[in-house]
Structure 1
Amino acid sequence: MKDKIIEILYKLIKKPYQFMFKKNDSWNLTLEEYLNNSENSLGFHLGSFLVKNNLSIQPQLEVHDVYHVLTNTGTTVIDEINMQFYLFGNGKQTPFVYIVMMTGFVFHSRHLKQFITNYKKGKQAHKFYDLDFSKMLAIPIRTIQSGFNIK
């Protein structure tokens, strides 16, 4: 039940957050364009992630899905909290990161050890959270992951 509440909270804050903090342009790419990249590329893996999880492209929020792909993180509430701890460890400091981490502390404190482990993994990775991934869609995903020590 608490995960449903958290999901509703995330959905409620998404649009205001996007309006207030997301000043980047949409990539204006279709799912087919992602999937037309080579099978080992970031773009193909991004498209496959969207298909597998029955998700649609959300303009200006494409990078969020790239983080899921690069860190091999699922889409459950716990997965999302783990990913935000990872990104925080990597240096990302945004209101969304803090909101998600706070919900993790409050609602899922029994997973704190796992959250800390992901924070440490993010610290060990080379800074990647602020890259322009729209220009990296043709690059093999393993090249990006190994080059930035993303585990």
Structure 2
Amino acid sequence: MRDYLIERLYECTKKPYQKYFKKNDPWDIDKKQLFDFPNDSLGYGLGNFLYKNHFDIQEKLEDHDVIHVLTNTGISVYEEIGMQYYLLGNGKRSLYLFMVILSGTIFYPNQIKYFFQQFKRGKQAHSFHYLDFSKMLSMPIQSIQKTFKI
């Protein structure tokens, strides 16, 4: 039930977040075009992630799925919250991030150890949350992970 509530909260807030808070331009790329990148690249890895999870590219939210790829974070509700803890540790600050962390901590107090592990992982990595990943799609995933200690 709590997974359902968190997912509904996300669905209700996603559109206003995209429209009013995300200032970046949407990427000019189709999901199928991601497979034109080299097999070890971020673009190809993003394509695999999207297809494997039956997702489409979400306009202005493309970076979110890239973070999943780079950090090897799953898509369950508690893992999504853990990824926000990771980003907090990595230096990201936003109202939306704090909303997710607050609601996630309240709904998943039994995952607090996991959340703090993710926060520590994010803190140990070099700050990368602000990068323009659309310009990095042809780069090898492992090279990015190594460079930023992800």
> TM exceeds 0.5?
yes
The 5 A counterparts of 1:11-26 are 11-26=11-26
Q: Partner residue of 2:39?
A: 39
The 5 A counterparts of 1:102-113 are 102-113=102-113
The 5 A counterparts of 1:85-96 are 85-96=85-96
Instruction: Provide the rounded CA distance (Å) in 2 between the counterparts of 1:49 and 1:9.
Output: 23
- Unaligned runs of 5+ residues in structure 2 are none
Deviations 1:73-108 (A, max 9, x none): 111101100100000000001112111111121000
1:54 aligns with 2:54: yes
Instruction: Provide the rounded CA distance (Å) in 2 between the counterparts of 1:70 and 1:125.
Output: 11
Q: Does structure 2 retain, via aligned residues, the 8 Å contact 1:86–1:123?
A: yes
SS in 2 for 1:10: helix
Q: Does structure 2 retain, via aligned residues, the 8 Å contact 1:28–1:59?
A: no
Q: Does structure 2 retain, via aligned residues, the 8 Å contact 1:31–1:47?
A: yes
Q: Which amino acid aligns with 1:135?
A: K
The 5 A counterparts of 1:57-96 are 57-96=57-96
TM superposition shift of 1:16: 0.8
Instruction: Provide the rounded CA distance (Å) in 2 between the counterparts of 1:99 and 1:13.
Output: 10
- Unaligned runs of 5+ residues in structure 1 are none
Q: Partner residue of 2:127?
A: 127
TM-score (norm 2): 0.98
TM-score (norm 1): 0.97
Q: Does structure 2 retain, via aligned residues, the 8 Å contact 1:85–1:118?
A: yes
Instruction: Provide the rounded CA distance (Å) in 2 between the counterparts of 1:95 and 1:66.
Output: 20
Q: Does structure 2 retain, via aligned residues, the 8 Å contact 1:90–1:128?
A: yes
Q: Which amino acid aligns with 2:138?
A: A
Deviations 1:23-52 (A, max 9, x none): 110111011211110110000000000000
- After superposition, the CA RMSD in angstroms is 0.6
Instruction: Provide the rounded CA distance (Å) in 1 between the counterparts of 2:55 and 2:44.
Output: 15
Instruction: Provide the rounded CA distance (Å) in 2 between the counterparts of 1:27 and 1:10.
Output: 22
Deviations 1:112-135 (A, max 9, x none): 011001000000000000001000
